[in-house]
Structure 1
Amino acid sequence: MPQLESKPRAWLPRKVLAGTAIVLSILAPTATTRAASAAENPYQRGPDPTAASVAAPTGPFATASVGVPRGNGFGGGTIYYPTATDQGTFGAIAISPGLNGTWAGIAWLGPRLASQGFVVFGIETNNLNDSPTSHGTQLLAALDYLTQRSTVRGRVDATRLAVAGHSMGGGGALDAALRRPSLQAAIGNAPHLPSGSLSSDRVPTLIYAMQNDTLVPPSRLTTLYNTIPATTEKAYIEVAGAGHNYIGQPSTTLARTMIPWMKIFIDDDARYSPFLCPLTNRDGISQYRDSCPLI
């Protein structure tokens, strides 16, 4: 399967980056520096974020969608995309449902994330009982289709791609990240990864655990999170009172943490860092770990 080249990352030592952030925070921001910052980041999309905007059911971009038939290595799906044509290309994320699940079960993620300035590909799997490894293979095939053959490929920046999924699909997203380190981000929601190890993970990874999940309990996901190397950006969020299929209903708790993660790592957008570093709004969250400052 072809590998996509990643946009360059500035892999400076964490202490250097943290020190730089402290110095910059002391300086009073001006309109000139803010404009320069936006000009220096060609991936930045949308207005300055607020706590209300990242939690809103609809973001600043109008969206449309297009269906994709079965084939091309995965079971089809739906692509959601911003309709704006004056913003350049957008980063993209492919998302997979879990065991015995279909995209319809988590489809609220499509328009919600796309309206924040992303192309979102919600996929169906070839079979309802596909393994996490198969989910990962299909997510990568979906990204290749999205950037190379889809009707919206001209709207997508092929160097800014990410994967996500729920349960088996979440394990598939983590598996895809292990196999394609050029990805910009990975998000596993209650992910089932049989190997139990992310020791070779180089992709910024966010893991969600559900506090009352008996299928993939938080203890297992804490152990999995701890295998991620110290050199890889990471975060762990445990959703209070939630069960395994919590993602099946629209969730502000998920949206207001997923969106900053995607903005920081897919769009290199430092405007979203304060929403996670530190996590000031802990409503609905029982545990939070991170590798802040998430540069």
Structure 2
Amino acid sequence: MVMTLNTNALWDFPADRSRQQLAALTYLTAQSTVKNRIDPGRLALMGWSMGGGSLQSAASTPSLKAAIPLAPWDLSDVSSRITVPTMIFGADGDTVASVDDFALPFYNGLVSAPDKSLIVLKDTDHFTFTDPNTTIAQYSVSWLKRFVDNDTRYDQFLCPTPNDPNTVVFQITCPL
């Protein structure tokens, strides 16, 4: 099951967005009309931009199976506290959440994550993540299938590190 949500306010900071993400997961698993169809032991999350709150959610919720921050922007770096498999996407032309200032330091800070990946998309910007993108979909689905479903058949799409012409950086811990 997949759920999307909007923030309470456009300028909510990552800590606020993290609380909103986690409240949505709690609602889905405990109160929603579909709660009986959701396995609370198989939860993951993604977030874009100040959805860098996904990093905060992963740091505070080690029971998550995976996290995928997209062009994460967050002034507080909690990456060293994350123990959840985390795939970070960045955009090589991002002037809002530049790879050098955000995605790369967050990736390097994932010292306790059992598996991690950094994918920097070629010829893209911060708003690339608001449109359909095959590269993002391919690797996100593979990451989620691998870690949420524990389906090792998806390892082949992640390791060895793909030589993808749509990326300028593709780092991943192999073997998964």
Fold match, TM over 0.5? Answer: yes
Moved over 4 A (4+): none
* Cα displacement string for residues 163-216 of structure 1 (whole angstroms, at most 9, x for unaligned residues): 1110001x1111101111111100000001211341111011110010000111
Report the counterpart of residue 4 of structure 2 in structure 1. Answer: 122
Q: Distance in 2 between matches of 1:249 and 1:164?
A: 15
Identity in percent: 40
Q: Distance in 1 between matches of 2:57 and 2:112?
A: 20
Q: TM-score, normalised by structure 2?
A: 0.95
Report the counterpart of residue 162 of structure 2 in structure 1. Answer: 280
Report the counterpart of residue 180 of structure 1 in structure 2. Answer: 61
Alignment of 1:24-103 (within 5 A): none
Counterpart of 1:202 in structure 2: which amino acid? T
Secondary structure of 1:238 counterpart: strand
Q: Are the equivalent residues in 2 in contact too, given 1:253–1:283 (CA < 8 A)?
A: no
Structure 2 portions without partners, runs of 5+: none
Alignment of 1:237-252 (within 5 A): 237-252=119-134
Q: Distance in 1 between matches of 2:71 and 2:53?
A: 11
Secondary structure of 1:187 counterpart: strand
Question: Paired residues, what number?
Answer: 175
Structure 1 portions without partners, runs of 5+: 1-118
Q: TM-score, normalised by structure 1?
A: 0.58
Selected match of 1:232 from 90, 106, 114: 114
Secondary structure of 2:43 counterpart: strand
- Give the superposition deviation at 1:127: 1.4
Q: Larger C-alpha radius of gyration, 1 or 2? A: 1
* Cα displacement string for residues 115-162 of structure 1 (whole angstroms, at most 9, x for unaligned residues): xxxx11101211121110000001000001111111211211110001
Q: Are the equivalent residues in 2 in contact too, given 1:225–1:236 (CA < 8 A)?
A: yes
Report the counterpart of residue 201 of structure 1 in structure 2. Answer: 82
- Give the superposition deviation at 1:231: 5.0
* Cα displacement string for residues 79-113 of structure 1 (whole angstroms, at most 9, x for unaligned residues): xxxxxxxxxxxxxxxxxxxxxxxxxxxxxxxxxxx
- CA shift in 2, pair 1:129/1:231, >3 Å: closer
Counterpart of 2:86 in structure 1: which amino acid? T
